[in-house]
Amino acid sequence: MNFKDLYDIWSKDSFFDASTQKELADIANDEKEIEERFYKDLEFGTGGLRGILGAGTNRMNVYTVAKASAGLAQYIVANGKEAMEKGVAVSYDSRHFSPEFADVTASTLAAYGIKVYLSDELRPVPMLSYAVRYFGAFSGVMITASHNPSKYNGYKVYGVDGGQVTPEAASEILSNIEKYADVRTIKQMKLEDAISSGLVEKFGSKVDEAYTAMLQELVIDKDAIDRQSDMDIVYTPLHGSGNKPVRRILSAVGFKNVHIVNEQELPDGSFPTVKTPNPEDPAALSMGIELAKKKGASIVVGTDPDSDRVGVAAKTVEDGKEVYKSFTGNQVGIMLLDYILNSKKQAGTLADKSFAVTTIVSTKLAGAICESYGVELQEVLTGFKFIGERIMIDDENGDKSFQFGFEESYGYLSGLNVRDKDAVVAVMLICGMAAQSKDMGETLFDRLERIYKKFGYGFEEAVSFTLEGKEGLEKIQGCMSSMRQELEACQTKEEALKLIGGPNVVAVRDYEKSIRYDFSSGKLTTSPIDLVKSNVLLYELGGDKGLDWACVRPSGTEPKLKIYFGIYDTDKAIALERLSEVKTSMSAFVNSKL
């Protein structure tokens, strides 16, 4: 069925609600817009759905959510009665239509005879992950588009361990979704009937209390917090779901002076005070910084709408003046890693066979830090589901002890009872680390400099090209294909040097083909990569420590092609200069393929 036929059905059939049909009537003369909305189904990837809100098969709406839920339901039914009885935990964030999508998810699952634990108010990603384990559920669903702009929403699916579903499970769910070519054939049940029958059960404060108690067990250096309990902290939930859980844990561990950015406190899916609710953008913390100046706070923290990412700014001195500056995700990651490992080593609580996990596009300084404490560092593909998977394999089902996981995109995790990035525990740890630094007479920037002096300077950046719609997707695919063709044509070191047009290319890892192309000996040699396949090209660039790199990958959650860079040197100025050169060359190289 072509996009015009689908448009006609959605526009005219009484199955679809009046607001949907009015929205479609308004674009009746815009064939390109109709095609964008109906040329395909909204893609169900390894984590679920994410897309622009609106009417159509390629948009987030109650019908596409019901279709995804029906596919998930069939997957659970196929796993037997026990899986159906264990059921699904469902939560949602502050985005437009998140509560409605959560209700549709619950009622659709119930229509197929599946037990559902439905959050009675918005709760963040880490609490959904925790709830899956708390209830012993078979699966979980989180309605969120994380840090995307306000026109987006999404549907993330979790497995029995509380981590995002495996690629294998996602593939099975997708095959079930595809069986519902016509959304009008999906089973339906009213939510009030599902609740009265006992199939849907609302959850609330008991989970909040258990989650907060669990986090308190993860506190590092409580003595320092007690001594600095009156430290001023500014927190902003950026109109999202972190407000209550973050304030609860900061109070529970003893911080007395937590100041909230009032204008950003309450949930609002329009995110009216920020350009984008993304703590990776320093501008998202600007209102928090203004409040910090008034309160004399030394630290500002902000969480995104689903509270799985956290941004941090702190007070420092530049040219004799006090200023507030933001940290990158990598900088916070290495500070927390060193803070946890060092504090536990000093306390004699660092377990044997300890390990930490990070991703292939995160800072390489993590390796040096782990090595200094005798801790194994594991690198996985981008995506926190792979970090959660390593916890299950090596800690829960193995003989190793997980200490910390992080990725460059402002995601952090400590503990075993959440299996996705957790901004709530991260805020607790960051504020505890700031208290320890204050106790030592240093700022967080002093701490970071101390780490750099010990392990060498490392600077990472990322740039992205936003390419929306069908045309944008085709450009991204064409760019990656062109880069692979050029790589496969290289046979010598001299040819590899011309790949990017500047930086020295020592080797290239193609994670989609699971091949590492090595040019260091002069002629090409290849070796296998032992990770799951992913559409990623990583260029090894050598450098002072042999760790420099650049990486290109399509985003899994946004219509973007992303480029990452990492440069390492004992000399700060040299590292920054080389980062600028690599960034310029690599950006031009990728742009030439678009």
Number of helices followed by number of strands (H, E) in the chain = 21, 22
pLDDT score of 498: 85
Average pLDDT, integer, range 543-566: 90
Low-confidence winner among 38-47, 293-302, 331-340, 387-396 (lowest mean pLDDT): 38-47
Q: Annotated catalytic sites, by residue? A: 146
Q: List the alpha helices (DSSP H) in 456-535.
A: 469-489, 493-497
Phi, psi angles (nearest 5°) of residue 288: -65, -40
Tokens 């600095």 belong to residue:
228
Residue 34, Cβ neighbours under 10 Å: how many?
21
More confident residue, 166 or 206: 206
Q: How confident is the model at residue 415 (pLDDT cuts 50, 70, 90)?
A: very high
pLDDT score of 355: 98
Q: Give the Cα separation of 295 and 578 in Å (integer).
A: 39
Sequence-separated (6 or more) residues with CB below 8 Å from residue 183: 15, 63, 64, 66, 67
pLDDT higher than 80, residue 501: no
- DSSP characters over 148-162: S-TTEEEEEEE-TTS
Q: Output DSSP code: residue 519.
A: -
Average pLDDT, integer, range 356-370: 97
Low-confidence winner among 173-177, 310-314, 431-435, 494-498 (lowest mean pLDDT): 494-498
pLDDT score of 544: 84
Q: How many residues does the chain have?
A: 594
If DSSP codes are grouped into helix, strand and coil, which group holds residue 240? coil
Residue 436, Cβ neighbours under 10 Å: how many?
22
- DSSP characters over 322-374: EEEEEPPHHHHHHHHHHHHHHHHHHHT---TTEEEEEETTS-THHHHHHHHTT
Mean pLDDT of the chain: 95
Q: How confident is the model at residue 588 (pLDDT cuts 50, 70, 90)?
A: very high
Average pLDDT, integer, range 246-256: 98
pLDDT score of 171: 92
Q: How confident is the model at residue 3 (pLDDT cuts 50, 70, 90)?
A: very high
Average pLDDT, integer, range 435-459: 97
pLDDT score of 212: 98
Distances (CA, A) of 449 to 326, 328, 410, 455, 550: 14, 14, 19, 10, 24
pLDDT higher than 80, residue 100: yes
Domains and CATH numbers, the chain: 40-203 (3.40.120.10), 220-455 (3.40.120.10), 458-591 (3.30.310.50)
Phi, psi angles (nearest 5°) of residue 363: -60, 140
pLDDT score of 138: 98
Instruction: Answer whether 113's CB lies under 8 Å from 103's CB.
Output: no
pLDDT higher than 90, residue 275: yes
pLDDT digits (tens, 9 = 90+) for 60-87: 999 999 999 999 999 999 999 999 999 9
Q: How confident is the model at residue 45 (pLDDT cuts 50, 70, 90)?
A: confident
pLDDT score of 497: 83
Q: How confident is the model at residue 468 (pLDDT cuts 50, 70, 90)?
A: confident
Q: Are strands 116-119 and 88-92 parallel, antiparallel or unpaired?
A: parallel
pLDDT higher than 80, residue 453: yes
Average pLDDT, integer, range 25-49: 92
Token pair recorded at residue 416 = 């075993």
Token pair recorded at residue 314 = 């702190």
Q: Give the Cα separation of 155 and 164 in Å (integer).
A: 11
Sequence-separated (6 or more) residues with CB below 8 Å from residue 141: 48, 69, 72, 88, 89, 90, 91, 102, 105, 128, 155, 156, 157, 158
**Of residues 44, 8, 45, the one with CA closest to residue 28:** 8
Query: What percent of the chain lies above the pLDDT cut of 70?
Result: 100
When computed from its CA atoms, the radius of gyration of the chain, rounded to whole angstroms, is 24
pLDDT digits (tens, 9 = 90+) for 108-153: 999 999 999 999 999 999 999 999 999 999 999 999 999 889 999 9
pLDDT score of 117: 98
Average pLDDT, integer, range 11-22: 96
Q: How confident is the model at residue 556 (pLDDT cuts 50, 70, 90)?
A: confident
Distances (CA, A) of 211 to 1, 87, 162, 185, 456: 48, 20, 14, 39, 37
- DSSP characters over 460-472: EEEEEEE--HHHH
